[in-house]
Amino acid sequence: MLAPDLAAKLEALQQKLTRMEAILVAYSGGVDSSLLLKVASMTPARVLAVTAASPTYPQEEIKAAAQLAQGLGVQHVVIKTNEMENPHFTANPPERCYHCKKELFASLQALAREQGLQIVVDGANADDRGDFRPGSQAAGEYGVRSPLQEVGLTKAEIRQLARHLGLPNWDKPSMACFSSRIPYGQAITSEKLAQVAAAESFLRQMGLKEVRVRHHGPIARLEVNPAAFALLIDARVRGKLVNQLHELGFTYIAVDLEGFRSGSMNAVLSTRGNAEKGNGNTINVEER
Protein backbone atom coordinates (compact mmCIF):
# COMPACT_ATOMS: atom_id res chain seq x y z
CA MET A 1 0.00 0.00 0.00
CA LEU A 2 1.32 3.43 -0.92
CA ALA A 3 1.90 6.14 1.63
CA PRO A 4 -0.68 8.94 1.33
CA ASP A 5 1.81 11.49 -0.03
CA LEU A 6 3.07 9.09 -2.69
CA ALA A 7 -0.46 8.07 -3.63
CA ALA A 8 -1.27 11.77 -4.01
CA LYS A 9 1.70 12.27 -6.36
CA LEU A 10 0.59 9.31 -8.47
CA GLU A 11 -2.91 10.75 -8.71
CA ALA A 12 -1.52 14.16 -9.65
CA LEU A 13 0.61 12.54 -12.36
CA GLN A 14 -2.36 10.68 -13.80
CA GLN A 15 -4.46 13.83 -13.89
CA LYS A 16 -1.66 15.82 -15.51
CA LEU A 17 -1.15 13.24 -18.26
CA THR A 18 -4.89 12.93 -18.82
CA ARG A 19 -5.13 16.68 -19.42
CA MET A 20 -2.33 16.46 -22.01
CA GLU A 21 -4.62 14.27 -24.16
CA ALA A 22 -2.06 13.35 -26.87
CA ILE A 23 1.46 12.60 -25.72
CA LEU A 24 4.80 11.58 -27.19
CA VAL A 25 6.94 9.96 -24.48
CA ALA A 26 10.72 10.13 -24.87
CA TYR A 27 11.23 6.55 -23.76
CA SER A 28 14.63 5.01 -23.07
CA GLY A 29 13.40 1.92 -21.25
CA GLY A 30 14.92 3.07 -17.96
CA VAL A 31 12.86 3.08 -14.78
CA ASP A 32 11.89 6.76 -14.98
CA SER A 33 10.58 6.80 -18.54
CA SER A 34 9.03 3.35 -18.04
CA LEU A 35 6.99 4.60 -15.10
CA LEU A 36 5.96 7.67 -17.09
CA LEU A 37 4.86 5.46 -19.97
CA LYS A 38 3.03 3.06 -17.64
CA VAL A 39 1.03 5.83 -15.98
CA ALA A 40 0.32 7.46 -19.35
CA SER A 41 -1.04 4.11 -20.56
CA MET A 42 -3.45 4.13 -17.60
CA THR A 43 -5.10 7.36 -18.79
CA PRO A 44 -7.45 8.09 -21.71
CA ALA A 45 -4.66 10.06 -23.41
CA ARG A 46 -3.33 8.98 -26.79
CA VAL A 47 0.26 7.83 -26.24
CA LEU A 48 3.24 7.18 -28.50
CA ALA A 49 6.53 5.92 -27.04
CA VAL A 50 9.68 6.83 -28.97
CA THR A 51 13.14 5.38 -28.37
CA ALA A 52 16.29 6.80 -29.94
CA ALA A 53 18.88 4.39 -31.32
CA SER A 54 22.53 5.34 -31.82
CA PRO A 55 26.03 3.94 -31.18
CA THR A 56 26.00 5.70 -27.80
CA TYR A 57 23.35 3.40 -26.33
CA PRO A 58 23.27 -0.41 -25.87
CA GLN A 59 21.25 -2.29 -28.46
CA GLU A 60 19.99 -4.69 -25.82
CA GLU A 61 18.43 -1.74 -23.97
CA ILE A 62 16.48 -0.78 -27.07
CA LYS A 63 15.18 -4.34 -27.45
CA ALA A 64 14.16 -4.43 -23.79
CA ALA A 65 12.38 -1.08 -24.14
CA ALA A 66 10.41 -2.40 -27.11
CA GLN A 67 9.35 -5.52 -25.20
CA LEU A 68 8.14 -3.50 -22.22
CA ALA A 69 6.20 -1.06 -24.40
CA GLN A 70 4.55 -4.00 -26.16
CA GLY A 71 3.60 -5.45 -22.79
CA LEU A 72 1.96 -2.17 -21.85
CA GLY A 73 0.01 -2.15 -25.09
CA VAL A 74 1.53 1.18 -26.15
CA GLN A 75 2.48 2.09 -29.70
CA HIS A 76 6.28 2.25 -29.89
CA VAL A 77 8.70 3.40 -32.56
CA VAL A 78 12.49 3.56 -32.72
CA ILE A 79 14.18 6.46 -34.45
CA LYS A 80 17.85 6.91 -35.32
CA THR A 81 19.74 9.95 -34.09
CA ASN A 82 22.94 11.26 -35.63
CA GLU A 83 24.80 12.95 -32.79
CA MET A 84 28.00 11.22 -33.94
CA GLU A 85 27.90 13.44 -37.02
CA ASN A 86 27.84 16.59 -34.89
CA PRO A 87 31.37 17.91 -34.17
CA HIS A 88 30.05 19.85 -31.17
CA PHE A 89 29.05 16.52 -29.64
CA THR A 90 32.06 14.42 -30.64
CA ALA A 91 34.47 17.07 -29.30
CA ASN A 92 33.07 16.02 -25.91
CA PRO A 93 32.76 19.35 -24.07
CA PRO A 94 31.06 19.48 -20.64
CA GLU A 95 27.85 20.56 -22.38
CA ARG A 96 27.99 17.47 -24.63
CA CYS A 97 24.53 16.32 -23.53
CA TYR A 98 23.01 19.60 -24.67
CA HIS A 99 24.03 18.95 -28.27
CA CYS A 100 22.75 15.37 -28.12
CA LYS A 101 19.42 16.27 -26.54
CA LYS A 102 18.95 19.22 -28.88
CA GLU A 103 18.96 16.89 -31.87
CA LEU A 104 16.77 14.35 -30.07
CA PHE A 105 14.12 16.82 -28.97
CA ALA A 106 14.05 18.51 -32.39
CA SER A 107 13.36 15.08 -33.94
CA LEU A 108 10.71 14.24 -31.33
CA GLN A 109 8.89 17.53 -31.77
CA ALA A 110 8.86 17.05 -35.54
CA LEU A 111 7.47 13.53 -35.10
CA ALA A 112 4.86 14.76 -32.62
CA ARG A 113 3.62 17.34 -35.13
CA GLU A 114 3.54 14.71 -37.86
CA GLN A 115 1.49 12.36 -35.65
CA GLY A 116 -0.85 15.08 -34.34
CA LEU A 117 0.45 14.79 -30.77
CA GLN A 118 0.29 17.87 -28.59
CA ILE A 119 3.08 17.44 -26.06
CA VAL A 120 6.50 15.76 -25.78
CA VAL A 121 7.39 14.53 -22.29
CA ASP A 122 10.54 13.02 -20.80
CA GLY A 123 11.42 11.10 -17.65
CA ALA A 124 13.39 13.75 -15.74
CA ASN A 125 12.63 13.55 -12.01
CA ALA A 126 12.82 15.83 -8.99
CA ASP A 127 16.34 14.68 -8.06
CA ASP A 128 17.60 15.79 -11.48
CA ARG A 129 17.22 19.43 -10.48
CA GLY A 130 20.37 19.13 -8.38
CA ASP A 131 22.42 17.42 -11.11
CA PHE A 132 24.63 18.86 -13.83
CA ARG A 133 22.37 18.11 -16.78
CA PRO A 134 22.95 20.31 -19.84
CA GLY A 135 20.26 18.32 -21.63
CA SER A 136 17.62 20.05 -19.52
CA GLN A 137 18.42 23.31 -21.32
CA ALA A 138 17.58 21.66 -24.63
CA ALA A 139 14.33 20.35 -23.13
CA GLY A 140 13.37 23.89 -22.17
CA GLU A 141 14.22 25.26 -25.60
CA TYR A 142 11.99 22.69 -27.32
CA GLY A 143 9.11 22.86 -24.85
CA VAL A 144 9.58 19.32 -23.55
CA ARG A 145 7.68 18.70 -20.31
CA SER A 146 8.88 16.59 -17.37
CA PRO A 147 5.72 15.41 -15.55
CA LEU A 148 7.58 13.30 -12.96
CA GLN A 149 9.56 16.36 -11.97
CA GLU A 150 6.50 18.58 -12.04
CA VAL A 151 4.70 16.47 -9.43
CA GLY A 152 7.86 16.19 -7.30
CA LEU A 153 8.65 12.49 -7.72
CA THR A 154 12.16 11.50 -6.61
CA LYS A 155 14.17 8.58 -7.97
CA ALA A 156 13.43 6.49 -4.88
CA GLU A 157 9.72 7.21 -5.15
CA ILE A 158 9.73 6.36 -8.85
CA ARG A 159 11.22 2.95 -8.11
CA GLN A 160 8.64 2.41 -5.38
CA LEU A 161 5.79 3.30 -7.73
CA ALA A 162 7.26 1.18 -10.52
CA ARG A 163 7.29 -1.82 -8.20
CA HIS A 164 3.78 -1.06 -6.96
CA LEU A 165 2.49 -0.91 -10.53
CA GLY A 166 4.17 -4.17 -11.48
CA LEU A 167 6.88 -2.90 -13.81
CA PRO A 168 9.48 -5.68 -14.24
CA ASN A 169 12.37 -3.20 -14.43
CA TRP A 170 11.60 -1.36 -11.18
CA ASP A 171 15.03 -2.22 -9.75
CA LYS A 172 16.98 -1.82 -12.99
CA PRO A 173 20.31 0.05 -12.56
CA SER A 174 20.62 3.43 -14.23
CA MET A 175 22.12 3.33 -17.72
CA ALA A 176 23.76 6.48 -19.06
CA CYS A 177 24.88 6.67 -22.68
CA PHE A 178 28.35 5.34 -23.49
CA SER A 179 29.70 8.81 -24.26
CA SER A 180 29.64 9.47 -20.50
CA ARG A 181 32.48 6.93 -20.13
CA ILE A 182 34.94 9.17 -22.02
CA PRO A 183 36.66 12.08 -20.20
CA TYR A 184 35.58 15.56 -21.24
CA GLY A 185 37.78 17.00 -23.96
CA GLN A 186 38.73 13.61 -25.38
CA ALA A 187 37.05 12.94 -28.72
CA ILE A 188 34.10 10.57 -28.84
CA THR A 189 34.62 8.00 -31.59
CA SER A 190 32.71 4.95 -32.75
CA GLU A 191 35.74 2.80 -31.87
CA LYS A 192 35.81 3.99 -28.25
CA LEU A 193 32.06 3.51 -27.87
CA ALA A 194 32.34 -0.03 -29.24
CA GLN A 195 35.15 -0.83 -26.79
CA VAL A 196 33.09 0.39 -23.84
CA ALA A 197 29.97 -1.41 -25.02
CA ALA A 198 31.76 -4.74 -25.40
CA ALA A 199 33.62 -4.40 -22.09
CA GLU A 200 30.50 -3.56 -20.11
CA SER A 201 28.55 -6.34 -21.80
CA PHE A 202 31.24 -8.81 -20.75
CA LEU A 203 31.15 -7.59 -17.15
CA ARG A 204 27.36 -7.86 -17.02
CA GLN A 205 27.63 -11.42 -18.33
CA MET A 206 29.81 -12.07 -15.28
CA GLY A 207 26.83 -11.12 -13.11
CA LEU A 208 27.67 -7.48 -12.36
CA LYS A 209 24.60 -5.25 -12.49
CA GLU A 210 26.08 -1.84 -11.74
CA VAL A 211 29.17 -1.29 -13.84
CA ARG A 212 30.94 1.46 -15.74
CA VAL A 213 34.04 1.07 -17.91
CA ARG A 214 35.65 4.51 -18.10
CA HIS A 215 37.76 4.92 -21.22
CA HIS A 216 41.08 6.65 -20.49
CA GLY A 217 42.86 5.89 -23.75
CA PRO A 218 44.87 2.69 -23.17
CA ILE A 219 43.45 2.42 -19.63
CA ALA A 220 40.09 0.88 -18.74
CA ARG A 221 39.01 2.11 -15.30
CA LEU A 222 36.37 -0.24 -13.92
CA GLU A 223 33.72 1.06 -11.56
CA VAL A 224 31.75 -1.69 -9.83
CA ASN A 225 30.01 -2.06 -6.49
CA PRO A 226 32.72 -2.60 -3.82
CA ALA A 227 30.98 -5.84 -2.89
CA ALA A 228 32.11 -7.15 -6.29
CA PHE A 229 35.82 -6.42 -5.74
CA ALA A 230 36.40 -9.97 -4.48
CA LEU A 231 34.96 -11.37 -7.71
CA LEU A 232 37.25 -9.24 -9.86
CA ILE A 233 40.40 -10.37 -8.08
CA ASP A 234 39.51 -14.05 -8.15
CA ALA A 235 42.34 -15.61 -10.16
CA ARG A 236 40.18 -17.26 -12.83
CA VAL A 237 37.81 -14.32 -13.24
CA ARG A 238 40.66 -11.81 -13.29
CA GLY A 239 42.45 -13.76 -16.00
CA LYS A 240 39.38 -13.91 -18.24
CA LEU A 241 38.63 -10.25 -17.66
CA VAL A 242 42.16 -9.10 -18.41
CA ASN A 243 42.34 -11.22 -21.57
CA GLN A 244 38.99 -9.95 -22.81
CA LEU A 245 39.80 -6.28 -22.27
CA HIS A 246 43.22 -6.72 -23.85
CA GLU A 247 41.50 -8.19 -26.90
CA LEU A 248 39.26 -5.11 -27.00
CA GLY A 249 42.33 -2.90 -27.24
CA PHE A 250 42.97 -1.78 -23.66
CA THR A 251 46.59 -2.01 -22.49
CA TYR A 252 45.96 -1.50 -18.77
CA ILE A 253 42.99 -2.51 -16.63
CA ALA A 254 42.40 -0.73 -13.32
CA VAL A 255 39.69 -1.07 -10.67
CA ASP A 256 38.50 2.20 -9.12
CA LEU A 257 38.62 1.77 -5.34
CA GLU A 258 35.80 4.28 -4.87
CA GLY A 259 33.51 1.85 -6.67
CA PHE A 260 30.54 2.52 -8.91
CA ARG A 261 29.22 6.08 -8.91
CA SER A 262 27.07 7.72 -11.51
CA GLY A 263 28.55 10.81 -13.11
CA SER A 264 32.08 10.33 -11.80
CA MET A 265 33.51 12.04 -14.88
CA ASN A 266 32.02 15.29 -13.56
CA ALA A 267 34.51 15.33 -10.65
CA VAL A 268 37.02 17.12 -12.87
CA LEU A 269 34.46 19.86 -13.48
CA SER A 270 34.09 20.48 -9.75
CA THR A 271 37.88 20.68 -9.43
CA ARG A 272 38.03 23.11 -12.32
CA GLY A 273 35.23 25.15 -10.79
CA ASN A 274 37.09 25.48 -7.48
CA ALA A 275 40.26 26.54 -9.28
CA GLU A 276 38.44 29.19 -11.30
CA LYS A 277 36.71 30.52 -8.21
CA GLY A 278 40.15 30.99 -6.69
CA ASN A 279 41.07 33.13 -9.70
CA GLY A 280 38.04 35.34 -9.17
CA ASN A 281 35.97 33.54 -11.79
CA THR A 282 33.10 31.14 -11.27
CA ILE A 283 31.91 28.10 -13.13
CA ASN A 284 28.37 26.97 -12.49
CA VAL A 285 28.72 23.18 -12.43
CA GLU A 286 27.24 20.72 -9.98
CA GLU A 287 28.59 17.20 -9.66
CA ARG A 288 26.19 14.42 -10.52
Residue 143 Ramachandran class (φ > 0 left, ψ -120 to 50 alpha, else beta)? left
The answer to whether residue 85 scores a pLDDT higher than 50 is: yes
Overall domain count for the chain: 2
User: Residue 288: its pLDDT value, please?
Assistant: 33
pLDDT (average), residues 102-130: 94
Domain boundary residue among 164, 186, 208? 164
Q: Are residues 11 and 105 in the same domain?
A: yes
Domain that holds residue 17: 4-164
User: Residue 279: its pLDDT value, please?
Assistant: 41
CATH number for 93: 3.40.50.620
Quickly count: other Cβ atoms within 10 Å of residue 280's Cβ. 6
pLDDT (average), residues 203-230: 95
CATH number for 245: 3.30.70
Domain membership flag for residue 273: no
Q: Are residues 201 and 261 in the same domain?
A: yes
Mean pLDDT of the chain: 91
The answer to whether residue 130 scores a pLDDT higher than 70 is: no
* 159-to-6, 72, 164, 173 alpha-carbon distances in Å: 12, 17, 9, 11
Question: Helix 190-205 and helix 235-247: axis angle, to 10°?
Answer: 160
